[in-house]
Amino acid sequence: MNYMKSTTSAVGVVLLSSFFIFFPSCQTIADPPFKNDAIATAHPLATTAGEKMLAAGGNAFDAAVAAAFALAVVEPSMSGLGGRLQALYRTAGGDVQGVDATTVVPERYTPTKERYRYGYETIGIPGVVAGLLQLHETGGGLPLETVMAPAIQYAREGFSLLPGEAQRHAMVAEQLAEFEGTRQYFLTADGTTLPAGTTLVQKDLARVLTRIAQEGRKGFYEGETAKKIVEDVQANGGILTLNDLKNYTVNNSRIVQGKYKGYDIYGLYLPSFGAITIQMLQILDALTLDVASDSRWASEVGKSIATAYAYRQYQKDEDSLKEILSYQRAQQWAKDIIAPTKKVAFQKGPLPESWGIAQGHTTHLTVADSAGNVVSLTQTVGPIMGSKVVSPGLGFVYAVTLGGYLGNYQPGDRAASHISPVLFMKNNTPVLALGAAGGSRIPIAISQVAQRYLEQNSSLNEALAAPRVYIDKDTLLLEKHEGINWFSTPDAFEGMALPYKWISGQGRFGRVHAVALDTLTKQWKGAADPDWEGTAID
């Protein structure tokens, strides 16, 4: 899939030169502290959309919002207007904040014993649109219509469907065929999914995006779009109401902090899993990881994952949260990991299905600009193609929120997930910003890439390309496919205390999109995960 890394000409049919009139950004700094801008996203057209904002005088907020709306068009299997969003950002002035725009359980929801993995019964209140609008209002400098112009044009004029996206549609073809609107937008006349290279035109989605660009929040959560959402959902067994949509609120995220190798780590508290990511990193910080010994590195990292993941269900408790985030407690966990007489606790069920599903989903982007604004943003619809439901006349997929896939919730609850955008800083200077896609693999991908980059002194691209591990129950899963190179031969893993298994599928250990600062040259470097079809520009 790496053939897409350096160009967008093969994937789009849209000419970008006439997207918009250039407007000066109110965030421009006369003498910026950094020499360039950088962006990394999961799709070449999204990267281009963000790059155009930066070239137009916009900042990282403008670029992130433009890229995120573009991803909602060109990568519908992973995210969309019907989904949820978590974003961590650092302003040029040095403030670190977050946006919680996850999906919310509707007011009429009654938990049931019956479980749903997709369908109208799983649809909650979407948060992506409100979250992106708030992010733009917080720090953007370009007009909203300018920022949304790339996404609108991709939808209206079409784009070339990438092989990975086409493959994901095909994986869930039977479920897509169950719903009228989904068949209309994503299946051919004979009921098959669209092949790679198809020019996908989404005129109804373009109209929805245009209403948002012109009317802001009311263009989605009220008026024509909201009415169509509610009418379709309620006609097919769902429970969304106009009040649910109108009353949706974006929360300011609670920031959680930790330490790693002298760097300050910033993450997001629930419904993001930032605390677990920090816990994992602080355990790794207390270990002396031997990069020359793959089996030892893999075993100790795997046990660190198991230790941190055993605490996922305790994050809501403040006393437990203090322990999870404690640097001193991490040192004790590390001692337990290397002590031959100690047993690591592997978390056992029953667990939410989303905590163990092997298929990766979700999308992530990271942007930094010369002024020092940094945005790390993750958005998702849940599993591939989310609920599999698209309302006729609208064109976007709804996320899975209800039905037990993410766990058990009550009305008003916000759906928690492994989403975990992270920022590393030193002396109040951003050094590394990253996040990942891939469900339960998100924190493990972030922690391993950060460890490779900050401790092993790998380049950012090398850190993203290096092999990763994951713990499934008590079995260590080892990444092994084309492009993955361990230092050791496979027989070096024989004799480990943990049972292990080689995993050959690409993208099964999270997909990271990151931006890092060269502190000597003051230049940003962006990098896209080689297991995906995304790109980076710096």
Full strand arrangement of the beta sheet holding 500-503 = 469-472, 475-479, 500-503
Q: What is the pLDDT of residues 79-122, one digit of tens each?
A: 999 999 999 999 999 999 999 999 999 999 998 878 888 999 99
* Cis geometry, peptide bond prior to residue 143 (ω within 30 degrees of 0): no
Nearest one of 39, 37, 44 to 2, comparing CA atoms? 44
The Cα 443–Cα 513 span in angstroms is 13
Q: Does domain 255-356+439-521 have CATH number 1.20.58.410?
A: no
- Does residue 499 contact residue 505 with C-beta atoms inside 8 Å? no
Lowest-confidence region among 132-136, 209-213, 401-405, 457-461: 401-405
Bridge partners of 477, per DSSP, are 470, 501
Q: What is the pLDDT of residues 115-149, one digit of tens each?
A: 888 999 999 999 999 999 999 999 999 999 999 99
Statement: residue 164 has pLDDT above 70? yes
Nearest one of 323, 296, 297, 324 to 308, comparing CA atoms? 324
End-to-end CA distance of the chain: 21
Of residues 25 and 367, the one with the higher pLDDT is: 367
Q: What is the pLDDT of residues 229-266, one digit of tens each?
A: 999 999 999 999 999 999 999 999 999 999 999 999 99
- Domain limits, the chain: 255-356+439-521
Statement: residue 7 has pLDDT above 80? no
Residue 83 tokens, joined: 């989904």
Task: Provide the b/e sequence for 365-400 (b: ≥16 CB within 10 Å).
Answer: bbbbbbbbbbbbbbbbbbbbbbbbbbbbbbbbbbbb
DSSP secondary structure of 65-110: HHHHHHHHHH-TTT--TBSEEEEEEE-TTS-EEEEEE--B--TT--
Task: Provide the b/e sequence for 91-102 (b: ≥16 CB within 10 Å).
Answer: bbeeebbbbbbb
Lowest-confidence region among 15-19, 256-260, 376-380, 447-451: 15-19
Q: Do strands 500-503 and 475-479 pair parallel, antiparallel, or not at all (unpaired)? A: parallel
State the pTM of this model.
0.92
- What does the radius of gyration of the chain's CA atoms come to, in whole angstroms? 22
Residue 351's pLDDT is what?
A: 63
